[in-house]
Amino acid sequence: MDKEKWKELDSKDPLHHLKSEFYTHQNVLYLDGNSLGLLSKRAEKTLMESLKDWRDFGIDGWMNGKHPWFTLSEALGEKIAPLIGAYHDEVIVTGSTTVNLHQMASTFFKPSATRKKILADELTFPSDIYALKSQLSLLDLNPGQHLIRVKSRDGRLIEEEDIIDAMTDEIALIVLPSVLYRSGQLLDIKRLTEEAHQRGILIGFDLCHSIGAVPHQLSEWEVDFAFWCNYKYLNAGPGSVAGLYVNRKHFGKEPGLAGWFGSNKEKQFDMDHDFIAAESAGAYQIGTPHVLSMAPLIGSLEIFAEAGMDRLREKSLKLTNYMMELIETELSGFGFSIGNPKDDDRRGGHVCLEHEEAARICKSLKENGIVPDFRAPNVIRLAPVALYTSFEDVHSAVHRLKKIMKEKQYEKFSNVREVIA
């Protein structure tokens, strides 16, 4: 491969200038934005503005200031809506990923005499399974019998045909990831939603590994609900407030877990003991929003509005394709295999690089100024994020990895994951 290809790719990249918006470090290549996105200067600015609102207004910051807190969750939901193809009132910024899954499951899982089971997959993130099991237990249903997990044929991917075959008349609810967190496989949300609805089954998706990297059309596809975190590709900061989507056709459905911030805004401070829900996704909020943890998202979403999801997706695919090309040409013979789908329409935003020495290679990568991500048992996740990764970065990362392997630098480390993998 032409060693100068990265120069041509960077020169033609319309988003190349956005890297300067983020705090990067000299000689460090950050390829872990699918776990925690980098801080942008705008996110820092809007966090400081919200602190200033608190300083200057005290309790009046709920209605005054630059970013009034009382309607901040709705305002941010409206800004996120275009990223996932939703109407503005179908999205709310609230809770955490798992809390929002609990809310969605308790709202939409209503077992009947014949439909008592939830369908998921065996490769999904463990926290989703914990939540679904606990929801079943709360209803005195046996998780071992009533949570069905679609098997993987190869330990990497889940085939849509296998999911559809598992959509039996015993299934009341389906919860799936949009992108599998290890392999980076992108599921066909549109097809799976259509198949579920043809069988009278409600379906929702965990968008943690796709929102901000892959555009969706949730309203058009009539997905029932979705939930996600905002600290990965959306760069809202560690532990930032999450988000959820509820299709308009479900507005008016009583939240499974009611709380006062789900109230109709005009009625909320009436302090009546009869809950009057908001006529929007806001109904599924529970407690008071964590304002200072939401504030960085204000600035981050400004960048997304300027970049546009279509352009971000186009660059993301080019970055991962370039990385895979380099892996195949430069790392041949070193025992690596690519575990993610290579087709653009089946791949999310990261490359799944497999190696039997993955844990110790990750440690050596960090020593060489590359921040990767390890997932047991043998996966090195590399995420070239479109907003702040250049094609030169990808070229440099693969060549540093080649040097590590040629010199066997990884052998000085144990093949055991760090505490935070």
Q: Is 68 annotated as a binding residue?
A: no
Structure tokens at 324: 């895979």
Contact 292, 50 (CB under 8 A): yes
Comparing CA positions, the residue from 244, 166, 163 lying closest to residue 205 is 244
User: Is 126 labelled a binding residue?
Assistant: yes
Residue closest to 101 by CA, chosen among 240, 253, 217, 243: 243
CA 47 – CA 37 distance, rounded (Å): 16
125 marked among binding-site residues: yes
Q: Which of 10, 82, 91, 93 is nearest to 308 (CA)?
A: 82
Annotated ligand binding at 98? The verdict is yes
Structure tokens at 142: 């046996």
* Residues 88, 265: Cα–Cα separation, whole Å: 16
Phi, psi for 16 (deg, rounded to 5): -55, -35
Among 213, 238, 203, 241, residue whose Cα is nearest residue 91: 241
> Does 260 belong to an annotated binding site?
yes
The reply, when asked if residue 413 is annotated as ligand binding, is: no
Residue whose C-alpha is closest to residue 73's, from 310, 278, 226, 212? 278
Strand runs labelled E in 314-357:
337-338, 351-354
Q: Can you say which residues are annotated as belonging to the binding site?
A: 97-98, 125-128, 206, 209, 231, 260, 288
Q: Can you say which residues are annotated as belonging to the binding site for pyridoxal 5'-phosphate?
A: 97-98, 125-128, 206, 209, 231, 260, 288
